[in-house]
Structures are given as structure tokens and as C-alpha cells.
Amino acid sequence: MQSLIIINDPPYGTERLYNGLRLAHALLKHDSDVTVFLMGDAVIGAKKGQKTPDGYYNAERMVKRVAVKGRVLLCGTCMDARGMTEEEVVDGCERSTMDALAEATVHADRVLVF
């Protein structure tokens, strides 16, 4: 089963990115094919070098875990708007486009939006 998870919210301040990535991790444990598409402020969750207080989740680490077994796509327009370059992005994540999101949506068995 192919799942597409679209996340829009920033990595910190709300828990939508956190919960979307938690769901992606759980689906990957069940050998599902998972694509996560980060757009809007969610692209910041894939930025390298995040430092969070002890005991607080770290979006960078969570994104890395998904990228190892699944696919993480980042909206290129959203990256540009936030001054993010591909060099600043977690290894395994890909700069992407709305056309790629449309294609992933068409091929997904289920689409979840956070």
C-alpha cells in the first residue's frame, strides 16, 4: 500500500509535523511504501543542524528516520521562500515540485494531510 503524507506546519510550535512523521515511522514498520511531502513552513523540519533542548523531539532526526526507509520530498518553491538551499537539507531528502506532488497523489492509495 502506498501512502502519501503531506505536512504543512512548522516543525516547532504545533505538533502536526511531529505527528505526521510519527505516523510515517509507524507505517514504515509495517513495510508500507511511504512518501512524505513537506511544504510551507514544514520544509524547515528537514534543515540540518537543529539543536533542541534535552527531552524535546528533534524534527531533523525524525525526518532522517523517514528518509532512510521512505521518501521525503521538499517543496522547492517553499524552500526558496525561506532561503533554504539543498546543501542545508538532511541527507536523503529531495527538493521537489508541485508536479511531483500531483504525481505522488495520483499514485497513492491514501493521502493524509497534516
- pTM for the predicted model, two decimal places: 0.95
Determine the residue type at 29: K
pLDDT at 88 over 90: yes
> What distance in Å separates the CA atoms of residue 96 and residue 74, rounded to the nearest whole number?
5
- Please state the domain extents for the chain: 2-113
CA 19: distance to chain centroid? 11
Output the CATH code of domain 2-113.
Answer: 3.40.1260.10
The set of residues, in sequence order, having a beta carbon less than 8 Å from that of 53 and lying 6+ positions away, is none
> What distance in Å separates the CA atoms of residue 84 and residue 97, rounded to the nearest whole number?
15
Write the pLDDT tens digit of every residue in 46-81.
999 999 999 999 999 999 999 999 999 999 999 999
Q: How many C-beta atoms surround the C-beta of residue 55 within 10 A?
A: 5
